[in-house]
Structure 1
Amino acid sequence: MTNILIVEDDPMVQFIHRNYLEKIGTFTNIYSSDTIAEARNLLAARSIQLILLDIRLKDGNGIDLLTKLRRTKQTVDVILITAANEVEIVNDALHLGVIDYLIKPFTLKRFEKSIHRFYAKNRMFDSDQLNQSQLDAYLEPQPHASAPLELDKGLSMATLKIIQEAIAQLPQPFTVPQLTTKTGLSHVSVRKYLNFLETRRFLKSDTIYRKTGRPFKTYQLLTTLPI
Structure 2
Amino acid sequence: MVEFIHRNYLEQAGQFQQIYSASSITDAKELLKEKPIALILLDIHLKDGNGLELLAQLRRQQQMIEVILITAANEAPAVKEGLHLGVVDYLVKPFTNQRFQESLGLFFKRKQTLQQANLPQEQIDQLLKKPADTSSDPSAKLEKGLSPETLERIKNAAATLKRDFTIQELADASNLSHVSVRKYIQHLEDRQLLTSEVIYTKVGRPYKIYSMKT
TM-score (norm 1): 0.62
In the alignment of these two chains, the number of paired residues is 154
- Distance 1:131-1:54 versus aligned 2 partners, 3 A rule: same
Q: Distance in 2 between matches of 1:71 and 1:37?
A: 17
Structure 1: 5+ residue runs without aligned partners?
A: 1-11, 150-160, 169-187, 197-227
- Supply the RMSD in Å over aligned alpha carbons: 2.3
The one-character-per-residue Cα deviations of 1:8-46 (angstroms, maximum 9, x if unpaired) are xxxx11111001111111111000010100000000000
Structure 2: 5+ residue runs without aligned partners?
A: 148-176, 186-214
**Secondary structure, aligned partner of 1:32:** coil
Q: Which has the higher contact order (CA 8 A, sep 6+)?
A: 1
**How far does residue 189 in structure 1 lie from its aligned partner after superposition?**
4.6
The letter for the 1-side match of 2:117 is: D
Query: Residue in 2 aligned with 1:130?
Result: 119
Out of 91, 97, 101, the position equivalent to 1:112 is: 101
Query: Residue in 2 aligned with 1:68?
Result: 57
Out of 5, 24, 27, the position equivalent to 1:38 is: 27
Q: Within 5 A, what are the aligned runs for 1:131-146?
A: 131-140=120-129, 141-144=131-134, 146=136
Query: Residue in 1 aligned with 2:144?
Result: 165
Q: Distance in 2 between matches of 1:145 and 1:166?
A: 19
The letter for the 1-side match of 2:25 is: I
The letter for the 2-side match of 1:130 is: L
**How far does residue 124 in structure 1 lie from its aligned partner after superposition?**
0.6
- Distance 1:28-1:189 versus aligned 2 partners, 3 A rule: farther
**Secondary structure, aligned partner of 1:81:** strand
Q: Give yes or no for contact 2:24–2:47 (8 Å, CA) kept in 1.
A: yes
Q: Distance in 1 between matches of 2:135 and 2:101?
A: 20
What percent identity do the matched residue pairs reach? 48
Q: Within 5 A, what are the aligned runs for 1:173-188?
A: none
Q: Distance in 1 between matches of 2:93 and 2:2?
A: 10
- Distance 1:56-1:115 versus aligned 2 partners, 3 A rule: same
The one-character-per-residue Cα deviations of 1:70-101 (angstroms, maximum 9, x if unpaired) are 00001111000000011011101110000000
TM-score (norm 2): 0.66
